[in-house]
Amino acid sequence: MKKIIFVCLGNICRSPLAEGIAREIAQKNNLNIKVDSAGTGDYHIGDAPCPNSIKVAKLNNIDISNLKSRQVNNNDFKEFDLIIALDEKNRIDLLRMGAINVKKLGEFGRNGECVPDPYFFNGFEGFEVVFEMIRECTENLLIEII
């Protein structure tokens, strides 16, 4: 069984979306993978995903409302086969924390871009754009590893 963890800064918007999307893809395709998400920071430990992430996921028939934010830790670096950062800053932070072989989710997209934080977009549309980026990259990631 492959084990994948998606990591962003606070684990309330991008990485829970990636976790929910990956679980949906795995379920639909009977893939034997374990998926989780975490944040590099400790700002939101125990919090649910942000309302806009829950909303955009729900609009795409994915329920992430039961997820709770947590901070990535050294055990994750041992347990997970793939550590997927949502942007370059998260990748650098993970490497500083001791993770090895960290990939950026954007490497699995058309342009190899980082997945931007939707809070820097103007309104809900940013969450829609980021959701589609995460979906495309996650689909490509799972095709590549399976």
Catalytic residues: 8, 14, 117
The type of residue at 32 is N
**Who's near 128: CB < 8 A, 6+ residues apart?**
56
The answer to whether 94 touches 85, Cβ cutoff 8 Å, is yes
CA–centroid distance for 117 within its chain: 11
**Who's near 123: CB < 8 A, 6+ residues apart?**
none
Rounded CA-CA distance 91/114 in Å is 10
Rounded CA-CA distance 43/73 in Å is 14
